[in-house]
Homo-oligomer: A and B are copies of this chain.
Amino acid sequence: MSNSVQSDPFAVVREKLDQAVTILEEQGLDLWLTFVRETTQVKDPSVDLIVGFDLTWQSALMISRTGERIAIVGRYDVDNVKNIGGYTTVLGYDESIRGPLLEQIQRLRPRQIGLNYSESDPSADGLTHGMFRVLANILGGTEYAVRLVSAAPVVATLRGRKSRTEIERIRAAIDTTEEILQQVRAQVRPGMTERDVADMIHGMVEERGLGTAWEWNFCPIVCAGPEGIFGHRMPGDNRVQEGALLQIDFGVKRDGFVADLQRTMYLCRPGETEPPEEVQKAWAAAKAAMEAGRAALRPGVKGWEVDAVARETLVEAGYPEYKHAFGHHIGRNAHDGATILGPKWERYGTSVEGVVEVGNVFAIELGVYVPGYGYIGCEEDVLVTPEGAEYLSQVQEEIWCIHPS
């Protein structure tokens, strides 16, 4: 959580509300309803987009294709929501949301009501099953009970189409992340454990008063030496050592937005000036696959098509497939939902069928394990423009060689 206070904290919320109306029109959905309560406990990710703070009692945020933005919230939240300056109507209630909610829906007469549920996209799946049942009960017996549809396509587009302010903030998070990674490069020494490296990075994050891109104890992920196991795990007791690789997967969260980068280092043995040939060869293959994937990442392609290019390039070079997706949106989260640049595996559902569009910001990543040396990880952040994917990060072209003195 970032503790910094913005000059106008709601400018970005108003940008997203404006975008939402445009997207409803593009996709032909009459009404988008975000239905939540006690978001400190279970937060629908869309609340960050269209509210920007927590709501307490049952709350209905309705955006209509015609441009109305209606919030029905508990009485103590009314002033806060008015302060956003982006809602055309803010209604409070004390005992039950049923009356005002029904009244507004009956006034708007939507042909479909889009709700935040999705089998594939976590960021579009913020409606809990209990709240779905509450809503079904409120609408029971009305014609609207059968007009409930998934708003996932709207949510995915809204989340993925970064606004000007959102892109600025992601850039700032990337800059700070790179600065920290360069500091690590200068300070890392053989004998440090993965945990020591993580503690060092946490110190750098705290010094700046920032948070991490994902859960603190798992960010950074640090993989030191040949025994390091790549993955989402807490840094352990493996040691940074000469003649071995050190891979770091890390990002800061700054003003509510994140970066997600990986950097690979090699600790030279005395007399060594560069990594051994087999490490270099694996690095070249990983980079070639990264670049092939990036080149395939353009407006209009589907997620799985981009993944396939990177994956095939790596496999054709004689390395095993990575067991994850090539790319994912970043923004408010390190995994920011919507389209995934991944293979057609069941666990990705339809998220890999999504179409890339201008304004999307992806982290693209892959890696290779080099027996006896450790894990090579490549990850960069890119912005999709009409011309293709443009790097937002300063691309790591070579393995960073550390010369312990």
Using a CB–CB distance below 8 Å, which chain A residues touch chain B? 1, 3, 5, 37-38, 40-45, 53-54, 56-58, 74-77, 79-80, 83, 93-98, 115, 117-134, 137, 150, 202, 206, 211, 214-218, 229-234, 323-324, 333-335, 337, 345-347
Contacts and interface: CB of A to CB of B under 8 A. Distances in A.
Main secondary structure of the interface of A (DSSP, over half): loop
Given A42-B122, A128-B128, A346 B95 contact: yes
20 contacts: A37-B122, A41-B333, A41-B335, A42-B122, A42-B126, A43-B43, A53-B217, A54-B218, A76-B230, A76-B231, A76-B324, A77-B231, A79-B231, A93-B347, A95-B346, A117-B128, A121-B130, A125-B128, A128-B128, A129-B129
A195 to B, nearest CB: 9
Contacts of A96: 345-347
A150 to B, nearest CB: 8
Chain multiplicity (copies): 2
A208 to B, nearest CB: 13
A265 to B, nearest CB: 22
Contacts of A215: 40, 53-54
A40 B41 CA distance: 12
Contacts of A56: 232, 335
A165 to B, nearest CB: 18
A28 B334 CA distance: 40
